Amino acid sequence: MAGLMLLLGLLLSYHYVPLERLSVADYIRGFPDADTRSHGLRPLVLAAIFFLPFFGSIAYSCSGVLARWLTREFLRSFLICYGGILLVFILIDFSGNASRFSDGEGVMEGAWFFYSRMATPILCVLLPLGTMLSALFCVSRVSRSREIIAALQSGRGMTRLMLPVYFCGAMLTLFYIGCNFHWAPRAEGMRWANLNQASGKASIQATNIVFYYPKGRRMWMVKEFPREYAKGARLRGVEVTTQHADGSLESRLYAKEAQWIESNRSWSFSGVELSDHHRNQAPIFVKLPSPYTIDDWGETPAQIIKLGVDVRNLSVPDLMDLIRSDMSAEWQGRDPARYATQLHYRWAQSLSCLVYVILAVPLSLYVTRRASGSGLAVAIGLAILMVVVTTVLLALGESNNMSPVLAVWSPVALFSLVGICLMKRRISGRPLWPPFG
């Protein structure tokens, strides 16, 4: 098994890692001031994701009989629970988009195009819930069949016996961290562009983008931003406002289309109308011939769309670039807090898989003859409560009303502590709910 997983990891790395290196090189060309170290980690993180099954198979082969047995039970439960909710989610989403897919090349072709590009965000958004249900189903099943009692007779404690379940939760957390590093948030940001392309429409990545370039005191407003902007696709409905040093209006350029020419790093505008503003005078409107070329503007299309994208759809390297840069400091004073909060949330969100396992194990583990279904309900209730608390604190952190570190990591620490306390009570044989016996 380990040899097969190693071969699979090598084949996937051989095919996708060079493509990711090319993607990083294209990104660096659009962002000359980007942190090359953080973006250079993308191929390495992708290769690590491909080799996770190999590392898991190595750990499985080095484990004992009981650990292998419980690992197989968890994987079987994971295939049932996670596979079930994933299938239901895709069927519901497909039923809502089938009419759009039929407008393109075909329903099946459009569905394959869309869901193959949305695979990482779909897998990640359902992974914490699937992990928790798998842990609940696995541990409650071995407890109900009294297999857990037989395993305890070997002299192992409950914590040691449950280590394979925790290890599986940790492996799924590592997978979540890898996907959340770049690919899941970026794919989620491209959702509507992928859906439009699958429907046979123009692939528009974003609309109504607003970007301020402080070095040139220029504000860009772009109505439609095409997906293939890096390959020379034209931006449509462009308005560029230039200001004096004191903030007063200097000029305003209207253009039907704008194109970035990377070879000579210049902008080419078509359908241009320029308004020149002077103090205490009426503006002068001039129609310019097409194409109208400007070669001394330093901003690039990648910079324009980056700050216009929802902060929740920015990857970890993108967030690190924006935190270290003062590009948006004059336009949005609260951006640093939003970016810092989302950067911490990328890591804390991935740890939710392991936190849900820590909560699920003691609430579904029992050695008495009488099983209790209250633990399952409490586990689901705690998971919902964790989502609510995380959402509220995340909003406080993004609005700069709370420290980003405290806002993001408090729910993880709090609910992990709750799970550890419940496990200690379960090990000692004390009731989980003392007031109720």
Nearest-angstrom CA–CA distance, 437 and 431:
6
pLDDT recorded at residue 79: 93
168 pLDDT exceeds 90? yes
Residues 292 and 362 in one domain: no
- Structure tokens given for 344: 């911490």
Residues 281 and 347 in one domain: no
pLDDT recorded at residue 50: 93
Residues 297 and 240 in one domain: yes
Q: Which of 114-123, 325-334, 337-346 has the lowest mean pLDDT?
A: 325-334
Residues 364 and 418 in one domain: yes
pLDDT recorded at residue 267: 87
251 pLDDT exceeds 60? yes
366 pLDDT exceeds 90? no
Per-residue pLDDT band at 335 (split at 50, 70, 90): low
pLDDT recorded at residue 230: 65
Chosen domain end from 309, 330, 364: 309
How many distinct structural domains can be found in the chain?
2
Residues 208 and 135 in one domain: no
pLDDT, mean of residues 193-198: 78
pLDDT recorded at residue 371: 52
pLDDT recorded at residue 209: 80
pLDDT recorded at residue 413: 94
pLDDT, mean of residues 60-65: 86
Do the beta carbons of residue 107 and residue 98 sit within 8 Å? yes
Do the beta carbons of residue 195 and residue 185 sit within 8 Å? no
Domain assignment present for 264: yes
DSSP string, 219-260: EEEEEEEETTGGGTPPEEEEEEEEE-TTS-EEEEEEEEEEEE
pLDDT recorded at residue 436: 47
332 pLDDT exceeds 80? no
pLDDT, mean of residues 311-322: 82
Q: What is the CA radius of gyration of the chain?
A: 27
Cβ contacts of residue 409 below 8 Å, gap of 6+?
Answer: 344, 348
DSSP classification of residue 201: S
Name the residue among 120, 164, 182, 176 with its Cα closest to residue 351.
176
How long, in residues, is the chain? 437
pLDDT recorded at residue 235: 85
- Burial of residue 158, with CB atoms counted within 10 A of its CB: 0-12 exposed, 13-18 middle, 19 or more buried: middle
pLDDT, mean of residues 263-281: 80
Q: Which of 29-33, 93-97, 264-268 has the lowest mean pLDDT?
A: 29-33
- Structure tokens given for 193: 């562009």
pLDDT, mean of residues 210-237: 79
Do the beta carbons of residue 262 and residue 29 sit within 8 Å? yes
Residues 173 and 215 in one domain: no
358 or 334, which is more confident:
358
193 pLDDT exceeds 90? no
Chosen domain end from 288, 309, 330: 309
**Percent of the chain having pLDDT more than 90?**
24
Residues 93 and 122 in one domain: yes
CA distances (Å), 23 to each of 20, 28, 242, 352, in order?
Answer: 5, 9, 32, 29
33 or 409, which is more confident:
409
pLDDT, mean of residues 351-357: 93
User: In terms of C-beta distances under 8 Å and separation of at least 24 residues, what long-range contacts does 146-151 make, across chains too?
Assistant: 148/365, 148/367, 149/367, 151/66, 151/69, 151/70
The owner of tokens 């037989």 is 150
Residues 208 and 283 in one domain: yes
Domain assignment present for 336: no
372 pLDDT exceeds 60? no
Domain assignment present for 327: no
385 pLDDT exceeds 90? yes
Do the beta carbons of residue 268 and residue 292 sit within 8 Å? yes
166 pLDDT exceeds 80? yes
315 pLDDT exceeds 90? no
**Percent of the chain having pLDDT more than 70?**
88
CA distances (Å), 153 to each of 66, 67, 394, in order?
Answer: 12, 15, 45
Q: Where in the sequence is the domain holding 303, given as residue range(s)?
A: 201-309
Domain assignment present for 50: no
Residues 227 and 165 in one domain: no
Residues 302 and 380 in one domain: no
- Structure tokens given for 265: 């790093």
Averaged confidence pLDDT in the chain: 83
The helix-helix angle for 352-364 and 404-428 (nearest 10°) equals 20
- Structure tokens given for 58: 């190595």
- Dihedral sign from CA coordinates of 341, 343, 349, 351: negative
Other C-beta atoms within 10 Å of 207: how many? 13
User: In terms of C-beta distances under 8 Å and separation of at least 24 residues, what long-range contacts does 380-388 make, across chains too?
Assistant: 380/132, 382/415, 382/418, 383/128, 383/129, 383/132, 383/356, 383/359, 386/352, 386/355, 386/411, 386/415
Nearest-angstrom CA–CA distance, 126 and 50:
20
Strand partners, 285: 275
Q: What's the start-to-end Cα distance of the chain, in Å?
A: 47
Can you list the alpha helix ranges (DSSP code H) found in 102-118? 107-117
Chosen domain end from 258, 293, 309: 309
pLDDT, mean of residues 256-265: 82
Most confident of 66-70, 150-154, 295-299: 66-70
The helix-helix angle for 36-61 and 163-181 (nearest 10°) equals 160
Give 74-121 pLDDT, tens digit per residue: 999 999 999 999 999 999 988 888 888 887 777 888 888 888 888 899
55-64 in b/e form (b: 16+ CB < 10 A) is: bbbebbeebe
Domain assignment present for 213: yes
Q: Which of 26-35, 140-149, 249-258 has the lowest mean pLDDT?
A: 26-35
pLDDT, mean of residues 226-249: 79
412 pLDDT exceeds 80? yes
Residues 74 and 115 in one domain: yes
264 or 352, which is more confident:
352
Domain assignment present for 31: no
Residues 222 and 116 in one domain: no
Domain assignment present for 54: no
Domain assignment present for 368: yes
